[in-house]
Structure 1
Amino acid sequence: MVSDPLAPLLELAEVADSLENARFAVDRTLWHKALRHKGSAIAAEVSLRCAVASAELDGAAYPLDEVRAGTVTDPVVQGALRVATELPNLVATWSTAPRQVLARLHLLAARDLAADDDLGRPVVNASGNSRLDTLCALITSESKLPASLVAAVVHGELLALRPFPVAGGVVARAAARLTLASRGLDPLLLIAIDCGHLRRGPEYTGGCHSFATGTPDGLRAWLKHYGMALEAGADESSRVCNTV
């Protein structure tokens, strides 16, 4: 039997515990009683908050209420909003045609930021293309490992590889959310993980660079951050449940 290539990552110090704590937090949030009666409204609010957080992580910071009111025209924010709105329609396709979905995500995120000819077209060299192929194979493969681990690797790889130089961060965070959804941890996209990344912003930035080194310590730093960000995102969604 061939072992899962990601399995050794769970043996890195504190990674398994961080991801397990996050899973408990997610499960607790998804059992919130408000979701039985206000699920659609909560999902819409989480989508909005994730879009605003994702845009801010790419340098476009605006108050949530201003974005909600429709007064923010910043193309980064508008791209993040388009991506967040489209995500529920892409969950089923993500696990079978990830390249197609990545192209769609980039088209939505970078519509007013990149030239039309560059939309949806990965910019990588031969080795980068091989690495992107490997990532897509991971996305389409079955795995018994935690969905959060796979999502963290997808997220980190897309940030490190940068197949989309413009709006690549928004695309990477959306791809990670799709991974959490398609692998059953957050099937209805109710966990505001991007808010968790923003809440731990310096750690997020440092973790991205650490992951790109490929060292055990670098991978550990990113994966541990990912678990804590997911837990913080679940906490944000619980607050939404209590106020919507």
Structure 2
Amino acid sequence: MSTSADPLAALGSLPGVDESVDSVRKAVDRVYGHRVMRRRGTEVTSEAALRGARGSAALSGADWALEEVRRRTDFSSDAEALTVGAALRLTAEAGQLLSIWRQSPLRVLARLHLVAAGGAAPDDSVGRPRFSAEPVDEPLVELPLPDAEEVAGRLEGLSQLIIAGGSAPALVTAAVVHGELLTLRPFGSYNGLVARAAERIVLIGSGLDPKSICPAEVGHAELGRAAYVAALDGYVSGTPEGMGAWIAHCGRAVELGVRESTAVCEALQRGAA
């Protein structure tokens, strides 16, 4: 597919995006080349999943200490616990949906919402895009809410882009999927968690992070909610500068996720984790 026919590939030429893509690729290559990954890669993957879930939950208002997430077994006691439980379930589910994602992204998004809700939302609203006038519980994102017709059209357009494939770098595709889902907030709940899980699926499925050891969610949380929302504003603006800034923000989040997993590798090497 030519760049002119591939809108996502065209985003790769925005100011600063090429540098972000290159920086992320080098960072990911370094952690995959760590000697611990040859012997204990499964442990690194498990730890990255836990830390990624904690980071995603923190952005959705449940900022728990890592050891609390690790220790807890009951995630049904209150709103924060429900959020953490949803994040953990989504992280576990993401790697199971790669083949379906390439064929039917909308089915995967429905599944992700179903997994996130876990029985906590009314049955008739789970796993489907919201209808007109249905409320959306997403306190972090205060942007105007697109109507149901716009949501349906843009989801279909996003789905067709993913199915068609193209030459866009993984970071660009992941950032667009993440930004579009946050902008649309297609479900009545858990949109942020679903958007970040979808970003994870793209990063894994693209081959950039096939073992899922570079949790962007950690980086998004570390960069902070204010920076996250400000970068999303750039995406929503649709300007070259705004779009480029959002992609670069997502790239920095991946690099911080790499740093987190590198620290895990170093701890495992020392016998401290």
**TM-score range with shorter-chain normalisation?**
over 0.9
**Contact 2:179–2:232 at 8 Å: present in 1 too?**
yes
Aligned residue number for residue 257 of structure 2: 233
Tell me the distance in 1 between the aligned counterparts of 2:160 and 2:106: 10
The equivalences for 1:139-218 within 5 A come to 139-201=162-224, 202-218=226-242
Tell me the distance in 1 between the aligned counterparts of 2:197 and 2:54: 13
Tell me the distance in 2 between the aligned counterparts of 1:52 and 1:206: 21
2:95 is aligned with what amino acid? P
1:95 equivalenced with 2:95 (yes/no): no
Question: Which 4+ runs in 1 deviate beyond 4 A?
Answer: none
Aligned length: 244
Structure 2: tracts of 5 or more residues without a match:
76-80, 132-147, 269-273
With normalisation by structure 1, the TM-score equals: 0.95
Tell me the distance in 2 between the aligned counterparts of 1:86 and 1:148: 21
Structure 1: tracts of 5 or more residues without a match:
none
3-state DSSP class of the match of 2:61? coil
TM-superposed deviation, 1:217: 2.2
| Seq. identity, % | 43
Aligned residue number for residue 51 of structure 2: 49
- Report the aligned-residue RMSD: 1.5
Aligned residue number for residue 75 of structure 1: 82
1:216 is aligned with what amino acid? P
3-state DSSP class of the match of 2:34? coil
**Contact 1:76–1:110 at 8 Å: present in 2 too?**
no
TM-superposed deviation, 1:165: 3.1
Tell me the distance in 1 between the aligned counterparts of 2:188 and 2:34: 39
**Contact 1:15–1:224 at 8 Å: present in 2 too?**
yes
**Contact 1:19–1:227 at 8 Å: present in 2 too?**
yes
TM-superposed deviation, 1:128: 1.8
Tell me the distance in 1 between the aligned counterparts of 2:8 and 2:111: 27
Tell me the distance in 2 between the aligned counterparts of 1:86 and 1:174: 9
With normalisation by structure 2, the TM-score equals: 0.85
